Structure formats: C-alpha cells, structure tokens
Structure 1
Amino acid sequence: MIKKSITVTDQQEQWIQAQMATGNYASDSEVLRDLIRKEQMRNTQIESIRNELIKAEGRGFTDKTPEEIMQDVIKRKQADVEL
C-alpha cells in the first residue's frame, strides 16, 4: 500500500469523524478508501450505461421512457453480477 497525506477542510473533517462515530469505520483511511471504492463503482456503472445507450442508438427508436430504459439497463447489469 502507498501512504498518502491529504488536507481536508474543517467541515470535511467533521463529516469524516461523524462517519467513524457510526462504528462502520475504524479510521479516517477506511472512510476515504470506501469513498474511493464507491466512486470507482459509480464510474463503472456510468460507463456501462453510456455503452448501452450507444448500442441502443444504433437500434433505432423506442416507445420506452428514459426511466424505463434506465431500469432495463440496471436490471441487465444486476443479472450479469448475479451470474
């Protein structure tokens, strides 16, 4: 592992301490690593949705609402994860 030194605002420090106070984290580092993991997952999901939209554009028009399309994509991705 690589050790990093960061600077946070007072408000950010209070938030980090509040997260630790929940008992879900034992250290500042755990809080920050969890945030990074969540952001990495979010970016992966966004990229996946983007790719699905690009594929869908090539298939033509649909009567589905944007919300229905997004739910279909999410269901397909969840099914892929469960396999």
Structure 2
Amino acid sequence: MSMHRKTITLTEQQDEWVKTQIESGHFGNDSEYIRDLIRRDQQAKERLTTLRQALTDGELSGKPKALDMSSIKAAARKLIKTAN
C-alpha cells in the first residue's frame, strides 16, 4: 500500500489531545492516531449507509402487518429446541 504525506494544522488543544492519546500508549505516533480516526469514520459511514438502505428496503417492502407475538414466541421456542 502506498503512503501519501499530508500536512494538517491543529489547534493547541487538539495537538495536546493527540499527544495525550500517544502518551497513554494507545498509538505510537500522530499518524497512527489520524489513520485510526479515518478508519473509524469510514466504518461509521458504512454502517450508516447500511442502516439507511435497510430503512429504505423496509419502507418499500409493502404494507406493514400486525405483530403476532404468539407466533414469534413459538418460532423462538422451536429454534431453541433445534439448537439443543
């Protein structure tokens, strides 16, 4: 994987925060911390996209039906028996 050098500007407070994260042993250097933040942001965006798609799919799946708790419980009991 090729690496690209970036220059960023932080406030003093932000710089202190990054240094604290490194000193606490969570990260080896500034770059590791920034890369971790980017990975977490990417994962959060992917989860949000997945959730939005699930909501859209649900809305398009048709008219809602009444919830039948007895059927749900029966199905759960059947799954438990099968698992044991």
TM-score normalized by the length of structure 1: 0.71
For residue 64 of structure 2, what is the aligned residue in structure 1?
Answer: 61
> Quick check: which has more Rg, 1 or 2?
2
Question: What is the alpha-carbon root mean square deviation over aligned residues?
Answer: 1.6
Q: With a CA cutoff of 8 Å and minimum separation of 6, indicate the structure with the bigger relative contact order.
A: 1
For residue 13 of structure 2, what is the aligned residue in structure 1?
Answer: 11
- What displacement does 1:63 show? 6.7
**Structure 2 residue 25 is matched with structure 1 residue 23:** yes
CA spacing shift, 1:62–1:48, aligned 2, 3 Å: farther
For residue 37 of structure 1, what is the aligned residue in structure 2?
Answer: 39
Distance 2:33 2:66 in 1: 43
Q: Percent identity?
A: 34
Structure 2 residues not aligned, in runs of 5+: 68-84
Which string of whole-angstrom CA distances, capped at 9 and with x for unpartnered residues, describes residues 1-31 of structure 1?
0001110011110110111011011100000
CA spacing shift, 1:24–1:62, aligned 2, 3 Å: farther
Q: Which amino acid aligns with 2:25?
A: G
Where does structure 1 differ by over 4 angstroms across 4 or more consecutive aligned residues?
none
2:49 alignment partner, one of 37, 43, 47: 47
Aligned residues: 64
